[in-house]
């Protein structure tokens, strides 16, 4: 089955700096890669996703890049703010859309220091 590895497990940055979280996946058939943000005690919330026919996607301060050859994808957050502090999860699925089962990474605890 699919295996997703996520690094780093913790990340601390100063407000205004950039943060980068990286994930690798094992199954070359995976073609949908969402990122979720989970605040303490809250539900995971989709913040951005990318499909295999796209190499990069950006939404305001958040961007995701995908390298299918190397089987890795990354989340980039620019101009970080304290409210960005949360656990971030990457995920991968085999199938055309997010309705397929997701395999999640272990998560990255991001702390943005004021």
Partner 1 sequence: ETGVTQSPTHLIKTRGQQVTLRCSSQSGHNTVSWYQQALGQGPQFIFQYYREEENGRGNFPPRFSGLQFPNYSSELNVNALELDDSALYLCASSLQYGELFFGEGSRLTVL
List of residues contacting partner 1 (CB under 8 A) = 1, 4, 6, 42-46, 49, 89, 91, 95-107
Taking the least distance from each CB to partner 1, the nearer of 14 and 53 is 53
Rg (CA), the chain: 13
Strands 4-7 and 10-14: unpaired
Query: What is the spatial distance between Cα 103 and Cα 114, in angstroms, rounded to a whole number?
Result: 33
End-to-end CA distance of the chain: 41
Taking the least distance from each CB to partner 1, the nearer of 18 and 97 is 97
Question: Shortest distance, CB of residue 102 to partner 1, whole angstroms?
Answer: 6
Nearest to 25 by CA among 6, 9, 3: 3
Q: How many residues does the chain have?
A: 114
Taking the least distance from each CB to partner 1, the nearer of 55 and 95 is 95
Question: Shortest distance, CB of residue 51 to partner 1, whole angstroms?
Answer: 12
Taking the least distance from each CB to partner 1, the nearer of 61 and 101 is 101
Question: Shortest distance, CB of residue 79 to partner 1, whole angstroms?
Answer: 26
């Amino acid at each position: 089955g699919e295996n997703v590895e996520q690094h780093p497990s913790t990340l601390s940055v100063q407000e205004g700096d950039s943060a980068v979280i990286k994930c690798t996946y094992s199954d070359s058939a995976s073609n949908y890669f969402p990122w979720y943000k989970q605040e303490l005690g809250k539900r995971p919330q989709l913040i951005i996703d990318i499909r295999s026919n796209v190499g990069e996607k950006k939404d305001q301060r958040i961007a995701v890049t995908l390298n299918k050859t190397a089987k890795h994808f990354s989340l980039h957050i620019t101009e970080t703010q304290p409210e960005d502090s949360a656990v971030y999860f990457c995920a991968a699925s085999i199938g055309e859309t997010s309705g397929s089962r997701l395999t999640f990474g272990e998560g990255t605890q991001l702390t943005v220091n004021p």
